Amino acid sequence: MAIHFHEEDLPEGVLAAGPVAVDTETMGLITGRDRLCLVQISDGGGDEHLVRFGPGSAYHAPVLKAVLADPNRLKLYHFARFDLAAIEHYLGVMSAPVFCTKIASKLTRTYTDRHGLKNLVSELLGHELSKQQQSSDWGAPVITEAQREYAASDVRYLHRLRDVFEERLAREGRREIAQACFDFLPTRARLDLAGWPEHDIFSHA
């Protein structure tokens, strides 16, 4: 088990076939303003790969883009809506199909309003995550070991969480509606990018 750090692209052949867990780190929460700094990815085999993009990056990254855009490879996220928008805006690919653990949590853990990744990993897997680096400077010239560990931990548990939520969605009879939500996420991300981040276009108002 190791954290691998790469500049500007993912090396060829480092990921096994099958679903990959994906996360992003940006300079802030406004996608068009706050540049994409890091993409984390894991095939669930124990290693995490961090791809860093520097200031002024062209975001070429053909290997990473090919993995993210592969329609036959499921991508696992926690709050996919944000990551999908950041990836499409900067890398130019829609990183689907999708399984989002935050949506799955909201559909199955209706006994709580705590759906953060830290809460899920603690309750469902028995591990404690540190969120101390969540608001750190991801555009800094040097990404610290603490930042790397934080970034890697955001994809480390998503395969196992998906397994838990697949069982719970089936148990509660909500697998079909979850899949419909997952299928809509690329459109939801594109609505965010197009200027409808908060307004509900399905509402009467």
When the pLDDT of each residue in the chain is averaged and rounded to a whole number, the result is: 96
Q: Is the pLDDT of residue 139 over 70?
A: yes
Enter the pTM of the model.
0.95
Q: What is the mean pLDDT of residues 58-70?
A: 98
SS3 annotation, 72-103: CCCEEECCHHHHHHHHHHHHCCCCCCEEEHHH
pLDDT at 111: 98
The rounded distance, in Å, linking the Cα atoms of 73 and 18 is: 6
pLDDT bin (cut points 50, 70, 90) of residue 184 is: very high
Count of CB atoms within 10 A of residue 196's CB? 12
82: its two tokens: 């944000």
The rounded distance, in Å, linking the Cα atoms of 26 and 15 is: 23
The predicted-structure confidence for 144-158, as pLDDT tens digits, reads as follows 999 999 999 999 999
Q: Give which of 95, 103, 81, 96 is closest to 162, Cα–Cα.
A: 103
- Residue percentage of the chain with pLDDT more than 70: 98
Class of the CATH domain delimited by 3-8+17-194: alpha beta
pLDDT at 118: 96
Helix, strand, coil: what percent of the chain each, to 5?
A: 40, 15, 45
CB of 24 closer than 8 Å to CB of 38: yes
